[in-house]
Structures are given as C-alpha cells and as structure tokens.
Amino acid sequence: MVEPKDEVPLNHSNATPVLHEVLHALQRLATLDEPTTIDLRAIPFGPGDEDALLSQLGTGEVKIELDTLGKSTIWETAFSGVWIIDHQNAESERIALQIEVAHVPAIIKAQTEDVTESLQLLDNQLNPNRTETTGLREE
Amino acid sequence: MADDMKRFTQTLGESLRERGVSRRGFLKFCTATASMMALPPTMVPAIAAALEKARRPSVIWLSFQECTGCTESITRSHSPSVENLIFDHISLDYHHTLQVAAGDAAEAAREAAMHENEGKYIVVVDGSIPLDNPGFSTIAGISNLQMLEETVAGAAAVVAVGSCAAFGGLPHADPNPTGAVSVSDIVHDKPIVNVSGCPPIPTVITGVLAHFLTFGSLPELDALGRPMVFYGQSIHDRCYRRPFYDKGLFAETFDDEGARKGWCLYRLGCKGPMTYNACATTKWNEGTSWPVESGHGCLGCSEPDFWDAGGFYNALSIPDSDIIRRAGVVAAAGVALGAAAGALNRSTRAKAAASHEKVTIDDLDKTS
C-alpha cells in the first residue's frame, strides 16, 4: 500500500452530493410529509467520505439501540428528522447503513402484528387460569 | 425427518417467527436483504411481503474446472447472520466441496433433489466445462458435460457463478488446452444468470439467490446475462477516483506523487472503464476496501477473456492530458477516450490471441 495515511486526502468530496440529497428529502418531509431512505451501501465512497458525511451531519438528542438479529444503532443527527440507521449482525459486522429522513424511523414503530400478539401475551399473564383464548372485550 | 418436512413446507415468515424473530427483526432482515440485492430501500415493503410467503427452493451446486475460489468467496461472505438465514431457506442439496456425503451417496442426493423438485430447482455452476476430452474433468466418473446436461434438464434456472462458468475464465484462456467452454455455450433452453468475477463478490452471489427466493424469478440481465443491479454500471463510472480522471490527474507509477494522492490508476493498467461489476460500492472484506482503494487498478475479472486482454499493467489507452485538461471538453473527452480504449483493447486482445500457439498434451509431456 503506497498511500501513507497522513497524505491521503480527508475525503474525496463524495459526501457533498449526498448532503444535497438529504436537503431535498428534508424539503419533501417538511412540505409533503413524505419520508425518504438513502442506502449508503450503494454510494461509491472513497476513504474518508463516510466519516466526512457523518461528521457534517453531527449528532442530535436521540439515540436508540435495537437488539434483534444483532445490534442496530439509530441516532438523530444534528438536523431534526434526519436519522442514521446502522444495522449490524450477531457478529457485530455492519449489514446496512442508511440515512432515513422521517419523523420517526419506520423500524422503531411497534409493528401491528407484534402489538396484537403482545395483547394476547399480557392477557395470558394477567389471567393464567382462564381457559378461553382471550378474555378481552371485542371492540 | 418430520422437522425436515416442516422446514420444506413452512414459509420464511413462519420459520422466522418460530425462531423468535419479531416483525421488527424481520424488517431489519428485509432491509439488509434489499441492500444485498442492490434494490432501493423503497422496495423493503414489497420484499417483506414476498419473503413472508417464500418457500425454500432446492439448490444443486456443480463444481467443474475451477479453483474453488467462488465457494471460498461465498463461505466468507461478511454478513453471516442474514446470509445464513437466506441459506437456511435454500435447500443446498448438493455441493461436493461442502457436503459430508461422498461418492455414490453424494450422487444419490443430487438425483433425489432433481427428482423431488422437478422443474423447480436451481442449478448453480462454478467452473468451465472441458469439451476436448471428457476425461479432463470428472466427478464420480461422470464427465462435467454429462453431469451438466442431465442436471439442468429439470431445472427452473441456472446460475453460472464466476468467470469460468460464465465465460470460460482461466481454463478458456489461450491456448485453452482443455477446450473449456462456459455454461451458456452448452445450455440453451433454460434461463441462465451469469454472476461473473474471479471470484464474484460474495454478496452478489447471495443477492441473486435471495432475488430468486424473494420473488421466485431471476433479476433483470445485461447483454452478457449478468444482473443489471450489480453489473449495470462500469467500475470507472462508480469509482471514487473518477474525478481525478476527469481532471487528467493520473498516477504514473505505484510510488509516485499521484499514487500517494490517490489519483486515477488508468495509466497503470486499470481496466475500470471496460469492466462492469459492483466492487466500487459493495467492496470486499466486510466492506473494508476494494482493489482501486488499495492502490491497484481493476483487472477486469468480471469481463469475458480478461486473462487475454494483453497485460494487467498495460493501459487501455493513454489519455491526452492536454485535451482533457481544457475546460469545457472534459465530459466529451471522457466519452471519446472510453470508446478509444474499447477499440484499442479489442485490438490488443486480438494481437495477444494471435501470438499464442495451442499447446497439446504431447507438448506438455515433452517439457516435463
């Protein structure tokens, strides 16, 4: 390898076009309430570009950790509504890195089917001796 | 046995839930799968709906004249939990390098998979097929040609993994002593996907299998039968060093100022302009790097006859720096140079081919 680290440029300026894409996505969220997801794995970044992008986006006030099929870290950037989603597998290797421009990242919301199952589970826990499948009132 | 039957009849959604994976986990799985298939994130809901109902297809993997590099590549793919989930939902019924069974038992497994999944199974092939003499490469006494023909007869589709299976690869290089040919030279009545590369990027291999698992169909292909999502753009067009090419800034040697500053490697023989692959975005080794990022030009390994392209360190053409440095003509010069490079490369290949003499088995005996 002939490129000493101190002589490699900090980035190859590929972060700037992505930031413009984020700007347009933020406009769509603000005016049309339309979310956008950008897959950073599909962007041809050179050395330093990803760090430059994440550095320019900064960090905001929310950080969330998700533990399913490995760890996922989700944080809001310094720009409200712009989230970084870093999915890792069980071996702590990155399997996806995305920018999601949304009020709340879609994966954070409780999924309807899981909510239905939780309802049944909690009901069973509170009423372990009940023989009927559910004691809850039908709405 | 009952468990095996259950795995065959369960959908992927049912199987994941039985293993305690929540819908949120399933969504993460679908997000990673979309990324692996190089599909836009907007496709995640469609992928989730399709995977929920997906059932595991049978896969028969045939290895012919190859170096096992393609299998090495896929077994070192860097997102094991997700890809293991994919493989848990593909029934890999025959792979003579990976399977425990050998000899007659292995061949019986292949025949059983063919019989039980008639018209529905996928055949993956790595390696080229020798036609000069069937004895050059055999498995359990069966020639590669015979095994390929009888196995693909009842297949839904064929995936030719690696440049050897896709285009003949190294065995097909001049003087092609075994008469090696690609899968598509033999199979004409089945859909074929060429996943070229020496080796192919592991996530590209699993991406194609995931596409079949998800949608039950093969992805859109380019003129050489390769999936457009991975091979739709040239290395050159996706290269982070492309702006240096456009400015006429080139490394002239591997240790000069240009090399240290990460300038374009075109003059050092980079075949990026004529090579179509996903290395520039997918990268290798857990997304760590890829050849150009490591300071070496692209060899063009996903293109037909890349071994005979006239030398890995010979530039395709030498761009005229004075022309492309002039403001206003940069883009036009780039297009013209690309065309010139293609023409020169074809000429170089023709000369390289003409300068070779075919070597026979007798010749090899004389020199050994």
Q: What is the pLDDT of residues B247-256, one digit of tens each?
A: 999 999 999 9
Residues A23 and A34 in one domain: yes
Residues B330 and B245 in one domain: yes
Establish whether the linkage from the previous residue to B199 is cis, with ω within 30° of 0: yes
CB pairs under 8 A between A and B: 114
Pairing label, strands B142-143, B138-139: antiparallel
Residues B117 and B40 in one domain: yes
- Local confidence band at B302 (pLDDT 50, 70, 90 cut-offs): very high
Share above pLDDT 70 across residues of chain A, in percent, rounded to a whole number: 86
- Answer whether B28 sits within 8 Å of A106, measured CB to CB: no
Q: Does A64 touch chain B (CB under 8 A)?
A: no
- pLDDT number for residue A1: 43
Residues B115 and B20 in one domain: yes
The whole-number average pLDDT for the span A78-92 is 92
- Which of B24, B280, B294 has its CB closest to that of A44? B280
Enumerate residues 6+ apart whose C-beta is below 8 A from B363.
Answer: none
Q: Does B301 touch chain A (CB under 8 A)?
A: no
Residues A99 and A51 in one domain: yes
Distances (CA, A) of A11 to A7, B23, B153, B241: 11, 38, 52, 11
Does residue B367 fall inside a structural domain? no
Instruction: Give exposure, B321-357, as e/b (b: 16+ Cβ within 10 Å).
Output: eeebeeeeeeeebbeebbebbeebbeebbeebeeeee
Q: Does B31 touch chain A (CB under 8 A)?
A: yes
Which residues in chain B have Cβ-Cβ distances shorter than 8 Å to A69? 21, 25, 28-29, 81-82, 85
The whole-number average pLDDT for the span B165-174 is 96
pLDDT at A34 over 60: yes
pLDDT at A90 over 50: yes
The residue among B178, B204, B231 that closes a domain is: B231
CATH code assigned at A23: 3.30.1370.140
- Answer whether B27 sits within 8 Å of A42, measured CB to CB: no
Residues A92 and A118 in one domain: no
pLDDT at B345 over 60: no
- Answer whether B27 sits within 8 Å of A2, measured CB to CB: no
Instruction: Name which residue leads in pLDDT, B167 or B96.
Output: B167
CATH code assigned at B130: 3.40.50.700
- Answer whether A89 sits within 8 Å of B80, measured CB to CB: yes
Residue of A nearest to B290 (CA): A46
Residues B202 and B305 in one domain: no
Lowest model confidence (mean pLDDT) among A20-24, B70-74, B104-108, B304-308: B70-74
- pLDDT number for residue A138: 47
Which residues in chain A have Cβ-Cβ distances shorter than 8 Å to B25? 68-69
Residues A74 and A32 in one domain: yes
- pLDDT number for residue B330: 37
- Local confidence band at B144 (pLDDT 50, 70, 90 cut-offs): very high
Identify the residue among B17, B22, B260 best suited for mutation to test binding to A, counting A beta carbons within 10 A and taking the highest: B22
Identify the residue among B14, B15, B17, B24 best suited for mutation to test binding to A, counting A beta carbons within 10 A and taking the highest: B24
Q: Range of A93's domain?
A: 5-107
Q: How many domains does chain B have?
A: 2
The whole-number average pLDDT for the span B11-19 is 77
Residues A50 and A62 in one domain: yes
Q: How many domains does chain A have?
A: 2
**Range 75-134 of A in CB contact (< 8 A) with B:** 87, 89-91, 93-96, 98, 106-107, 110-111, 113-114
ipTM: 0.81
Residues A123 and A65 in one domain: no
Residues A57 and A45 in one domain: yes
The whole-number average pLDDT for the span A22-26 is 97
Q: What is the pLDDT of residues B211-260, one digit of tens each?
A: 888 888 889 999 999 999 999 999 999 999 999 999 999 999 999 999 99
- pLDDT number for residue B1: 40
The residue among B231, B263, B289 that closes a domain is: B231
Instruction: Name which residue leads in pLDDT, A33 or B73.
Output: A33
Residues A9 and A46 in one domain: yes
- Answer whether A7 sits within 8 Å of B261, measured CB to CB: yes
Does residue B115 fall inside a structural domain? yes
Residue of A nearest to B253 (CA): A2
The whole-number average pLDDT for the span A20-41 is 95
pLDDT at A95 over 80: yes
- pLDDT number for residue B88: 62
Residues A80 and A113 in one domain: no
Instruction: Name which residue leads in pLDDT, B205 or B290.
Output: B290
B124 and B61 Cβ atoms separated by less than 8 Å: yes
- pLDDT number for residue A114: 84
Closest CA to B28 of B95, B94, B82, B87: B82
Residues B113 and B34 in one domain: yes
Q: Does B45 touch chain A (CB under 8 A)?
A: no
Residue B63: Cβ-neighbour burial (10 angstroms; 0-12, 13-18, 19+): buried
Residues B264 and B219 in one domain: no
- pLDDT number for residue A79: 97
pLDDT at A8 over 50: no
Q: Range of B270's domain?
A: 235-354
Residues A56 and A118 in one domain: no
Q: What is the pLDDT of residues A103-130, one digit of tens each?
A: 999 999 988 888 988 999 999 999 988 7
pLDDT at B81 over 50: no
